[in-house]
Chains A and B, each alone.
Chain A
Amino acid sequence: MQAFAVMLLPTALIPCWYSMISRVERQVNLNSQDFHSKLHYEIENTEKFLHPINSSATNLAGVLKLSLNGTKLSFSMIETKVAPLLFQAWSTIPYLSQISYTGLEGLFFSYYTGQNQTLAVYSNSSYNSRSSAPNVKKNLSCYIQHVNHETGELYGNSIECPSLNLVSKRWFQEALNSPNGYASLETGWNNSQDLILLSSARINGEGVISLGFSAQLLTTRFTSIDRQGGSLYLATKDGKVLIEELKNTHMVLAGNMVSVQLMKPNGEKKVLGNVSCIIKDGSPRASTLNIQGTEYMFYCSSLDIVGVQSVYVLAFPQKGLVSLVRKNWIVALALLIVIITSMVVSILSFAYIFVRAAKREMHLCAALIKQMEATQQAERKSMNKSLAFASASHDVRASLAGLTGLIEMCYEEANPGSELETNLRQMDTCAKDLLGLLNSILDTSKIEAGKMQLEEEEFDLAQLLEDVVDLYHPVGIKKGVDVVLDPYDGSAIKFSQVKGDRGKLKQILCNLLSNAVKFTCEGHVTVRTWVRKPSLQNSIIASSHNGLMKYLQCLFHKSNEAYNDLEAMNAAQQDPNAMEFVFEVDDTGNGIPKEKHISVFENYVQVKETALGQGGTGLGLGIVQSLVRLMHGDISIVDKEIGEKGTCFRFNVILSTCDNVSCNNTKAEDLEMVDGSHIPELTLSTPSPGLWLRTSSSKLTVHSTPSPKVTTSHVVLLIQNNERRRTSQRFMENLSIKVSVAKQWEHLPSTLQKIKHKENHSCHNSLGKSDLSSPSGYLSSSASNNSSGVEKDVPLSSMDGSNYMLSVFKRTTPKFASSFILIVIDACAGPFLELCRIVAEFKKGLHNATCKVVWLEKPTMRNINFKHIEEDLVDPNDVVISKPFHGSRLYQVVRLLPEFGGTLQGNSSKLKEEIKFQAEKVPKDPSSSRSKPRSPPSNGILTKEQEIQEIGNSNDEKPLSGKKLLVADDNVLLRKLTVAGLLKLGAIAETCVNGQEALDLVCKGLSDQRKLGASNILPYDYVLMDCEMPMMNGYEATKQIRKMEKSYGVHIPIIALTAHTSGGEAKVAIEAGMDVHLGKPLKKEHLLEAIRYIDTK
């Protein structure tokens, strides 16, 4: 439309413009014509102006005739009478160049201008014209004399000149014969032979008066007219040309036509065209001729100059205004056309582009809509799938739990060692594996469905860590991998009482640890934890070690998720108790290629090269990530130094620490029981963070600067595993304990020797100043050897670390002046007997120091058999630890030192027992407790089984005897039937007709029970609830009952009855809170089965 409008404008404008232009052209034409006609008038005016001259000759003749009165003229008469008249005329008539009187007889008198002087020519001799034949030539003499131009008198000498013989000339004859005079173009009689226009008139038939006007003077009158570039051509009728201004042309008069001829340089003539001189409508007709490339307009008209009939032609070149306008007109038209065409072209192309763009946009839009629909559908599908998974969890897990329970039952009955037992054991393993797999899949679906919730509870983080690490220690040991719990800076011990989701944290740690152990063939797996203040900065860095960019990316890509995280983080920050716990699981396994660092956290992704033959669903890390994010943290893989093997997973979670008093007290009590109450110092030094958090400052300053007189204890470590040795050493050093390290058992004697030497030396000096520098120098070198590349990870300064430590371990002033040497020996580090001997030898040589030995034993290989070893080699006070030397074991060993409350000789047996006891407490098989199946404790199962047995066995008439049931059904018939059936089974049945009544009855029953003080006894053992009832349906009633019974803390089993057989009803019933769903009509077997199911649940 716009295009049309734009097209319309020029089409309307062009005619307008055209008319304007033509008007201008017309005007210009008119103007030029006007000018031409004006020129004509000018010429005609000039002619008219000259007109009076025409009759001057005739008039003069008349005057002369009168004065002569017909007398015969003699020369003297002429001299006296005619000559003065002639002179008068000569001096009065303008333009006159000669004047003469010629008599028939040859008398002649004339004035003329020659050489700027007035001259007179006369002939005084006459001949008789009648007597002499005209053809006889008489030689008449002729004289020229100067004339006084004031008086007309002749003076000077007369010069004889040849006779003019004017009488014989044609104009003389014509003038003689014509009464009105005659005019013609003649040559003058002066010497220069100028052209003159001669006007002559007769006098009495005897003479002729002639007046000669200079043609040159007259024509200048015409040529002096301003012709504006026009050229004039003037000729007499008989063809004599007066003016010819146009160059290279020649005009020939032929009748009424003037033919224009072009004069070529070689003399040839070419006729260009004719110009008509016939005057129409009072103005000359214009005709156009082309002369040498220039258009000329020719106008032809006749003219009368001093009585001589002549013709003039005006030629105007056409390049004037008109041609300019015409040319401009063409150029403008061309320009206009070009503009319009370009406009049209541009409009068309624009429209084309626009249309194409619109088309493309439409295509894109359609594609986008399609894609969006597809995405939505896919999301819906995925959501449905996840929901279905999540809802299926209940049933599948229950049946699996049933399976494992049954297998366990059978397992106990089977003969030990029989094939059946083996099969059952394998079945059990398979079922548990299946349960584990299922749990991970279900967790995933639960997370996807957004149903995962945090279950906050208070727990001991240190304990949890130790449990988890201990759990995987045996598995690792089996593969030759040591699983080490690095106490790190002790911050985790300080803030060990936390509130959070214990189960999920454990799941995360278990998952990471099991992965680490699975993919590590040699070396060690280290778990370390530290605490820091939750700051946005920290969490950003922790969540992405690539820096802020990645975080921003994450923010943009999954803005919602990230935003939520951020919000949660902010929320967490507002909680003053919230602390950020950072966990690291570091292994020396195969490692993960760097490009896969992000994708390993996606579901169903496994690193192919490393996962080969290891099994698994690839869900583990995905779940871990989801769980970590649920706890407001993030997980990532920490880059290792080049050359270091393995992977280091680091994740952070926000947990709120609880340091309230009640928590502390219970904790303290617990520990008191464990640690043995007879050592008060030890009790005081329990790792209760809050206690020390409040009182730390003063006590720390006191205890952290022990007086120099007191000899510090010395610890010798002989631990095979590098990592464990390093972590233990660092931990102790942080506590300002002197530590000596022996890497191999062969080094032990020399190490011990050095210590002994020093001890004895210091003893001799009897000064407590022990040489602190020498062991520490040795230590520092060994420490730096061991801990290269790990120290960089320490976010807190070592000073902070020791502060944490010191706040946890209270230093006490030792009671004994003698130094204390603690030797921690890995029993597997060398031949046991040899080790014993070395230690015994060392002890013997020790004078002033007490020594205690802690034997570390691997749980899997019980190779320390003290019975087989000689009494003198092994001190009965030696401590044997058969569990990994970290966590609480490490702390207890530290507490053996006098500075930390240990007694010199002592109750090692007690400790031993306690440690053993702890060892017992740890589950035997970590894999079983890892995927905790939700089965009740075994004794619980047993009682239920008995019940089931009871029900199953007593197949007599009344399996439900003594049970009280409530039947809610609106249909009399069905009610009656159900009641009859129940009575048959020995139960007592109460009835009601709708949900409201059922609710009332249950409510009443419950309140009655409470009055009786037996609120745990159910008012009804089971409720059979019809679903569709008037007043209140079964679902609603169930919901109400469930709501109400909550306050009583009971759960009344409700069995739904419906005539619908579709699964949907069953689902609705279960969702409403009913336990079982049964179809109508009620069958005895079904009912019993349902009751059995409820009981087992």
Chain B
Amino acid sequence: MDVVVQLQRQLTDHTASLFHEGFLNEQFNQLQQLQDESNPDFVVEVVSLFFEDSERLLNELAKALEQQAVDYKKVDAHVHQLKGSSSSIGAQRVQAVCIPFRNFCEEQNIEGCLKCLQQVKHEYSLVKNKLETLFKLEQQLIAAGGSFPTL
């Protein structure tokens, strides 16, 4: 029981810190609310979709920015998608970096774009780690037979 309680507390703390540090926002809550019995792994599915999507986009961005003649339209479209998907799951900080990224795109500022790409990658890995930790905790909690704490 202690393990469950501890895990529950850990989970709560972790989630709180995620919100507190601005990694996630209200949208993630809504995501969690959409999860129910008929759709038990909804959040995980969505978030893993987000990971896939984001990784694909980041790779393509990196590739696009390495080119001699950078296709800013393409870059912009990618960033736009990334912004859309990150905002959909509430990955606030990723979304935030996307805004200056797009601005640099419009200015066709390669240095700015590269800098932003680094930042986005950084933020993405952070949020990915955090979320993975969160899911791990959740799995542990379920494995331990506990239920989700009410948020």
Please give the residue numbers on chain A whose beta carbons come within 8 Å of chain B beta carbons, in ascending order: 971-974, 976-977, 980-981, 983-984, 1028, 1059, 1080-1081, 1083-1084
Contact = CB atoms under 8 A, between A and B. Distances in A.
B27 interface: yes
Contacts of A1080: 84, 87-88
Interface in B78-98: 80-81, 83-85, 87-89
27 contacts: A971-B53, A971-B85, A972-B49, A973-B46, A973-B49, A974-B84, A974-B85, A976-B45, A976-B46, A976-B49, A977-B34, A980-B34, A981-B30, A981-B34, A983-B39, A984-B33, A984-B34, A984-B36, A1028-B80, A1059-B84, A1080-B87, A1080-B88, A1081-B27, A1081-B84, A1081-B87, A1081-B88, A1083-B30
A117 to B, nearest CB: 146
Interface residues of B, number: 22
A1059 B80 contact: yes
B31 interface: yes
B88 A977 contact: yes
A600 to B, nearest CB: 52
A452 to B, nearest CB: 39
Contacts of B77: 1028
A977 B83 contact: no
Nearest to B34: A980
Given A980-B39, A1059-B80, A1059-B83, A973 B89 contact: yes
Interface of B: 27, 30-31, 33-34, 36, 39, 42, 45-46, 49-50, 53, 77, 80-81, 83-85, 87-89
Given A981-B34, A983-B39, A1081-B84, 11 more contacts: A971-B53, A971-B84, A973-B85, A974-B85, A977-B88, A980-B42, A984-B34, A1059-B80, A1080-B84, A1083-B30, A1084-B30
Contacts of A973: 46, 49-50, 53, 85, 88-89
Contacts of A974: 84-85, 88
Nearest to B33: A984
Nearest to A974: B88
A971 B31 contact: no
Contacts of A1059: 80, 83-84, 87
A205 to B, nearest CB: 149
A973 B45 CA distance: 9
> What does DSSP make chain A's interface, helix, strand, loop or mixed?
helix
A669 B62 CA distance: 79
Contacts of B53: 971-973
A973 B33 CA distance: 16
A981 B36 CA distance: 12
A515 B49 CA distance: 68
Contacts of B30: 981, 1083-1084
Contacts of A976: 45-46, 49
Identify the 7 closest CB pairs spanning chains A and B, nearest first. A980-B34, A1059-B84, A973-B49, A1081-B88, A973-B85, A977-B88, A1081-B87
> What does DSSP make chain B's interface, helix, strand, loop or mixed?
helix
B27, B46, B77 — most chain A CB neighbours (10 Å): B46
B144 to A, nearest CB: 27
Given A971-B53, A972-B49, A977 B31 contact: yes
Contacts of B39: 980, 983
A974 B50 CA distance: 9
A981 B42 CA distance: 11
B95 to A, nearest CB: 10
Nearest to A1057: B84
B34, B42, B53, B89 — most chain A CB neighbours (10 Å): B34
Nearest to A1060: B80
Contacts of A1081: 27, 84, 87-88
Given A971-B53, A972-B53, A1081-B27, A977 B46 contact: yes
Contacts of B50: 973
Contacts of B36: 984
Contacts of B81: 971
A903 B143 CA distance: 101
B111 to A, nearest CB: 25
Contacts of B46: 973, 976-977, 980
Contacts of B33: 984
A744 to B, nearest CB: 83
Nearest to B87: A1081
Nearest to A976: B46
A1086 to B, nearest CB: 12
Contacts of B83: 1059
A320 B80 CA distance: 113
A1079 to B, nearest CB: 9
A1028 B73 CA distance: 13
A1059 B30 CA distance: 18
A971 B87 CA distance: 13
Contacts of A971: 53, 81, 84-85
A1089 to B, nearest CB: 16
A838 B36 CA distance: 91
A1028 B81 CA distance: 10
Contacts of B87: 1059, 1080-1081
Nearest to B81: A971
Contacts of A981: 30, 34
Contacts of A1083: 30
Contacts of A984: 33-34, 36
A958 to B, nearest CB: 12
A1085 to B, nearest CB: 11
A977 B49 CA distance: 11
Nearest to B49: A973
A91 B45 CA distance: 177
Nearest to B36: A984
Contacts of A1028: 77, 80
Nearest to A984: B34
Contacts of B31: 977
Contacts of B85: 971, 973-974
Nearest to B42: A980
A1034 to B, nearest CB: 14
Contacts of A1084: 30
A531 to B, nearest CB: 64
Nearest to B38: A983
B26 to A, nearest CB: 9
A1081 B25 CA distance: 12
A983 B37 CA distance: 13
B30 to A, nearest CB: 8
B45, B81, B87, B88 — most chain A CB neighbours (10 Å): B88
A977 B87 CA distance: 11
A971 B27 CA distance: 17
A228 B45 CA distance: 143
A1034 B42 CA distance: 27
B87 to A, nearest CB: 5
A799 to B, nearest CB: 79
Contacts of B89: 973, 977
B45, B53, B85 — most chain A CB neighbours (10 Å): B85
A252 B36 CA distance: 163
Contacts of B80: 1028, 1059
Nearest to B77: A1028
A972, A974, A1028 — most chain B CB neighbours (10 Å): A974
Contacts of B49: 972-973, 976
A1083 B88 CA distance: 10
B36 to A, nearest CB: 8
A474 B33 CA distance: 62
A980 B85 CA distance: 15
A973 B54 CA distance: 10
Nearest to A980: B34
A516 B50 CA distance: 70
A1083 B83 CA distance: 16
Nearest to A982: B34
Contacts of B27: 1081
A1028 B77 CA distance: 9
Nearest to B83: A1059
Contacts of B88: 973-974, 977, 1080-1081
